[in-house]
Chains A and B, each alone.
Chain A
Amino acid sequence: MQVKVVIGTIAFMLTMIILGYAALREPERLEHFSAASEGRSIETGAKLYYDNCATCHGVDGKAQECYDAAGNSISCQGLPLNSYFLVCGDTPARLEQTLFEGTKVQFIERTVSAGRNGTAMIAWSERYGGPMRDDQVKNVAAYVLNFANEEFCAEEPISFNWPDAYEDLLTLETEDFVAAPGDPENGAAVYTSFACNSCHGNVDEAGSNQIGPWLGDIAEVGATRVEGQTASQYVYHSILYPNNFIAPDCATGPCVGPPSAMVQDLAFRMSTNPQDMIDLLAYLVGE
């Protein structure tokens, strides 16, 4: 009798002590599980990314190395996601450029869910006829935003200060860059290495364009687009500011926009070697 009371009391007190101990370590445990919850969401997102997104946005989200289902190297149709201007800061440049109001998480979830009109980016969410559930959209977005780490976002990547007038670029002479005459041969290489051909097609073959306008005749047509702009000026501006003028002759009718389906950060990516711009224009327009 007494023994039972004693055992019961001890057991009860031990239980209380254990619960107290559990309560004390709760803050730390909750923190661990919050991290685990996020980490696993990113892992799942990474899997989804490689299963669905990497064919266009490339290995590591850089839009540089893309493979089709059979493992053959193909040109990347998508924008780089591993990009300072998409993931860094509270309001990355890409949000401002597309006039998006909201957070970057919302921006990415929205773009993944609803797609981008006129591009190869389809609506991925089940809600809009795509294959992904809400939780999957969230996971992919978590993966993309995980490119933003302290080191990567520490400073804005070098970006070339493009002069507004094309003539000024041709004669530019600064400490880091001295303009040379355009080299059409390198321009042709630039045309494919930046994957212009994946949308604009082969310049030697009218009608080979998939999405954007065919550029084989841009030397003539370009001069007629915007009043006061020569063909080179027009092409140069279209690369710097893709949304300013929307061309009337995309692959399947008038182009849509703004924003344009044209790759938005091409000028930024050419910043590492501005001579590429001059060579590209020499190739396309031939001046």
Chain B
Amino acid sequence: MATFFEQVSEMGVKQAIITKADDVVERLTAGMNISDIRSALRGDEPRRPNPRLRPHADSFWFHIRPSFYHTEVTHIYPTFRLGWLSTFMFVWETITGIILMVFYTPSPLVAYDNMWNILSNVPLGQLMRNMHRLGAEVMVLVVALHMLRTFITGSYKKPRQFTWATGVILLTLTALLSFSGYLLPWDQLAYWALTVFLSGAEAAPAPAEFNANVLLILQGAPSLGAGGLLRWYLFHVLLLPLITAIFFFVHYYKVVLYGISLPPGREEIGEDTAKRVPKNERTYFTPDILTNELMWTALTTLFLVAGALWFWDAPLEHHADPIVTPLHVVAPWYLSWSQGWLKLADKTIVIGFIPLLIVMFLVMPYVEVGKSRRYADRRVGLTVASLFFAFMLISNWMGTPEFRVASSPELEVAQEIMPQEGANVLLGVPYEYLDTGLYVPGEEIPDNPYLTRALEEFEAAMQNHSCVLNGNPDMPRQGIWDDCRILDGERYGNGFGDNAMPDPYATLRITVEQANMKRLTLHFEVPDPNNPGELLVDSGDSIYAFRHEGSFYEEECRFLNKDC
């Protein structure tokens, strides 16, 4: 081969550069030169021998992709792009995660400060954090939906049983990845979610000594602390991604090996023709699948960036405090079903049932060996699956805070409008609208829509937890409350539940605490109907929150996942 200088003297500078560029591109693409790429993008017929197939032999990244697909599986149905999307999310999480790693140290002394540093000091840090956290939740959803679709289209059946089994492991790993990241901000949300989760280990159906050791390994010390955080950090950034990558490649190798299954109606029962693709039904990877994937990459990125910027916000609560248990510890939604189950059955049974369920999923395709993938022939299987799906949805709902064990009604009211953690209606009132004074629920404050709205929410919360017994002259607008149902002489019910305050009196007091900070005090008084003159509840000044001028809670209230 002539050197570049020889070419220059032979054909002039311009032509030599063009030839050289062509040469470089061909090496990079492992087989396609510039005009091949242009013709592929235009959608022309390839020249012979087809240069678009060479990368599949010579390039690493192309050789792990098939050179063509059956045209039937390139449409939205049957894959819904969910397997591809799962892969995309895994890569997405890896990239955003590596960026976050730069600003994070897994130590209880600084982890929480690191989060605030990412938010307040790292350019685009909040966006990066939101994208990673949103991505984690989207990934769980996408992988679960992918599983649902491979079940519905019967793609787990012979010969793809092993693909399904590795998939089950991947789903478990995805949930663990998501959840292990949950602890890292080291805030109250993180700390208590993991503490509750780990307490499950103690209840596992195994010898107590074994359980105690598992717990010790998982939290690094008798209680969750520096050692535990380091371990979960290492799970999250090292062990779990590594295992996930390994299983992903096994999974994907099997997908390529057997080909993506055709829509069930397209084949004879019991046949698998995915790999026997007639010439006229082939869709080549280059250019069709490739451009398709690039388009979806661009679109998904757009959705995730826009979502993380404008619609969704990663939560950050107060610093983790092992001594202060929050009123309601909430599991992330994708594990809510387990909290729901705890309300149905004994803890040991639930903890024992989960691994059993995973094993059942693993072996399912080896046990369910019905030949037909057609929907009409799988009525029993699809019905069982739908019932299971419904059961999971209901369990999840039961695990959310709406379905919870209530504490005392006045604390519930406080929890609804001014919880210890998270953005809320009262703190969400912009600072300059927090006029000092004494207010009652539902009061309308002229020229102050924010405070008025907060007091409306106060009224709504009161309505949920109050009832009218004899009436309370100090409380305007109690007409909207239900009448009390007397339960056992001590407790009272209303239309919302069995734990209501009879004739309560409630106020919100806003006072100046420091020149740039106000104090919001909720006060509740409930007269004791059985001992006139006595109070059943007198919260005094004990329920309060501070609101600093700069705290900026109102900003949080704009997002879909924060209600205030």
**Chain A residues within 8 Å of B, Cβ to Cβ:** 1-2, 4-5, 7-9, 11-12, 14-15, 18-19, 22-23, 26, 29-30, 32-40, 42-44, 46-47, 60, 71, 133-136, 143, 146-147, 149, 151-152
What residues on A are CB-neighbors of B120 within 8 Å? 30, 33-34, 36-37
Whether B328 is near chain A, meaning CB under 8 Å from some CB there, is no
What residues on A are CB-neighbors of B319 within 8 Å? 44, 133, 135-136
What residues on A are CB-neighbors of B519 within 8 Å? 46
User: Is B112 a contact of A18 with CB atoms below 8 Å?
Assistant: no
What residues on A are CB-neighbors of B548 within 8 Å? 38-40, 42-43, 146
User: Is B291 a contact of A46 with CB atoms below 8 Å?
Assistant: no
From B20-28, B257-265, B300-308, the one touching the partner chain is: B300-308
What residues on A are CB-neighbors of B299 within 8 Å? 7-8, 11
Partner of B305, one of A19, A37, A143: A19
Whether B550 is near chain A, meaning CB under 8 Å from some CB there, is yes
Partner of B555, one of A18, A32, A34, A143: A32
From B380-388, B401-409, B509-517, the one touching the partner chain is: B509-517
User: Is A35 a contact of B550 with CB atoms below 8 Å?
Assistant: yes
The answer for the CA separation of A1 and B44 in the assembled complex, in Å, is 11
For the complex of A and B, list the 10 residue pairs with the smallest distance between their C-beta atoms, beginning with the closest: A35-B550, A39-B548, A39-B551, A33-B120, A8-B295, A39-B550, A11-B298, A36-B552, A43-B546, A149-B515
User: Is B551 a contact of A15 with CB atoms below 8 Å?
Assistant: no
What residues on A are CB-neighbors of B43 within 8 Å? 1-2
What are 5 A-B contacts with C-beta separation under 8 Å?
A9-B298, A22-B124, A30-B121, A32-B552, A60-B513
Q: Nearest Cβ distance between residue B553 and chain A, in whole angstroms? A: 8
The answer for the CA separation of A46 and B550 in the assembled complex, in Å, is 15
Whether B294 is near chain A, meaning CB under 8 Å from some CB there, is yes
The answer for the CA separation of A33 and B516 in the assembled complex, in Å, is 17
The answer for the CA separation of A15 and B516 in the assembled complex, in Å, is 39
**Chain B residues within 8 Å of A, Cβ to Cβ:** 41, 43, 109, 112-113, 116, 119-121, 123-124, 126-127, 287-288, 291-292, 294-295, 297-299, 301-302, 305-306, 309, 318-319, 513-517, 519, 540, 545-552, 555
Closest to A42 in B: B548
What residues on A are CB-neighbors of B555 within 8 Å? 32, 36
What residues on A are CB-neighbors of B302 within 8 Å? 11-12, 14-15, 18
What residues on B are CB-neighbors of A42 within 8 Å? 514, 517, 546, 548
User: Is B294 a contact of A38 with CB atoms below 8 Å?
Assistant: no
What residues on B are CB-neighbors of A4 within 8 Å? 291-292, 294-295
What residues on B are CB-neighbors of A1 within 8 Å? 43, 287-288, 291
User: Is B291 a contact of A147 with CB atoms below 8 Å?
Assistant: no
- Chain A binding surface, main DSSP class: helix
User: Is A26 a contact of B295 with CB atoms below 8 Å?
Assistant: no
User: Is A151 a contact of B515 with CB atoms below 8 Å?
Assistant: yes
What residues on B are CB-neighbors of A46 within 8 Å? 513-514, 517, 519, 546
The answer for the CA separation of A37 and B125 in the assembled complex, in Å, is 14
Inter-chain CB contacts under 8 Å: number: 121
What residues on B are CB-neighbors of A39 within 8 Å? 517, 548-552
Partner of A15, one of B123, B294, B298, B514: B298
With A26-B124, A152-B515 known as contacts, the answer to whether A7 contacts B295 (CB < 8 A) is yes
The answer for the CA separation of A35 and B431 in the assembled complex, in Å, is 13
User: Is A146 a contact of B121 with CB atoms below 8 Å?
Assistant: no
A-B contact sample (19 more), CB < 8 A, given A7-B299, A43-B548, A136-B319: A8-B295, A11-B302, A12-B302, A15-B298, A18-B302, A19-B305, A34-B120, A35-B551, A36-B119, A36-B120, A37-B120, A42-B517, A43-B545, A43-B546, A43-B547, A46-B517, A46-B519, A135-B113, A135-B319
What residues on A are CB-neighbors of B287 within 8 Å? 1
What residues on A are CB-neighbors of B298 within 8 Å? 7-9, 11-12, 15
What residues on B are CB-neighbors of A23 within 8 Å? 123-124
User: Is A33 a contact of B113 with CB atoms below 8 Å?
Assistant: no
Partner of A134, one of B109, B294, B549: B109
Closest to A7 in B: B295
Partner of A47, one of B288, B546, B552: B546
What residues on A are CB-neighbors of B121 within 8 Å? 30, 34
What residues on B are CB-neighbors of A7 within 8 Å? 295, 298-299
What residues on A are CB-neighbors of B127 within 8 Å? 22
The answer for the CA separation of A35 and B43 in the assembled complex, in Å, is 55
Closest to B121 in A: A30
Q: Nearest Cβ distance between residue B496 and chain A, in whole angstroms? A: 31
Q: Nearest Cβ distance between residue A55 and chain B, in whole angstroms? A: 15
The answer for the CA separation of A81 and B109 in the assembled complex, in Å, is 27
Closest to B291 in A: A4
Closest to B514 in A: A146
Q: Nearest Cβ distance between residue A180 and chain B, in whole angstroms? A: 37
The answer for the CA separation of A1 and B284 in the assembled complex, in Å, is 12
The answer for the CA separation of A36 and B119 in the assembled complex, in Å, is 10
User: Is B514 a contact of A33 with CB atoms below 8 Å?
Assistant: no
Closest to B318 in A: A44
Closest to B117 in A: A37
User: Is A15 a contact of B301 with CB atoms below 8 Å?
Assistant: yes
What residues on B are CB-neighbors of A15 within 8 Å? 298, 301-302, 305
Closest to A15 in B: B302
What residues on B are CB-neighbors of A8 within 8 Å? 291, 294-295, 297-299
Closest to A11 in B: B298
